[in-house]
Amino acid sequence: MEEKAPLLLTIAVLGGTGKEGKGLAYRWAKAGYKVIIGSRLPEKAVTAASEIIEQLEGSSSVVGASNLEAAQQADIVVLTVPYAAHRDTLESVKQALKGKLLIDVTVPLVPPKVTKVQMPPAGSAAQEAKQLLGDDVQVVAAFQNISHEYLMTDDEVECDVLVTGSSKEARAEAIKLVEAAGLTGWDAGPLENSVVVEGLTSVLININKQYGSTHAGIKITGVHKK
């Protein structure tokens, strides 16, 4: 009997019209996933989806929709909105996230001092998401330290992804998507550790500013993936 190909999940990228979200959507679409770009303005999402399809020369399944429609239709939801829109976006899709995995890419940057770590009372943006969504949603934090400069290219990325989350199983699922995007992911432990991962973004922004770069990242050394 011919072996069937594994079923690929549908990924919604909320805030997917921004540079980070669009870059992740591009890489997952290239890997063969069905991707739904979500936005407050559905017409912007449709435009972003068309641009990704054009870049991939039409060989992908990418569509645009409102954030709510995208969350409703997806198996896994990825949140890539600015921190100022974090809570409002989560509240608008809360019911649609029940029973699903949320990968939160949000960093609590507070302009204009984005080179200074300024964490919220909950500890991190991902922990805020977990408090708001409750036990019906598995929450993972990932991709905070990857520059969007890399993501819309086909180049190899010299940067690792630290994955923290509310369960080992949720982290394992997220790491599959990290690898599908052509990156190396590491299980960095429980969601509480997202404080460190999110805070690193301000450190990397500062390094970029001090040394004239745009894509500083991190690399785990001294250990090899099995």
pTM of this prediction?
0.94
Q: pLDDT-derived band of residue 52, with 50, 70 and 90 as boundaries?
A: very high
User: What domains, with CATH codes, occur in the chain?
Assistant: 10-211 (3.40.50.720)
Q: 193-207 pLDDT, tens per residue?
A: 999 999 999 999 999
φ, ψ for residue 59, nearest 5 deg: -95, 60
| pLDDT, position 2 | 40
pLDDT at 17 > cutoff 80 = yes
| 6: pLDDT strictly greater than 50 | no
pLDDT of 5 strictly over 60: no
pLDDT at 213 over 80: yes
The answer to whether residue 23 scores a pLDDT higher than 90 is yes
Selected residue with higher pLDDT from 129 and 214: 129
Q: 48-52, 63-67, 156-160 — which is least confidently predicted?
A: 156-160
Region of 32 (left: φ > 0; alpha: ψ -120 to 50; beta: rest) is left
Q: Evaluate if residue 3 carries a pLDDT over 60.
A: no
CA atoms of 10 and 3, how far apart (whole Å)? 21
Assess contact for 5 and 31: CB atoms under 8 A: no
Residue 158: how many other CB atoms lie within 10 Å? 10
Q: What is the pLDDT of residue 4?
A: 37
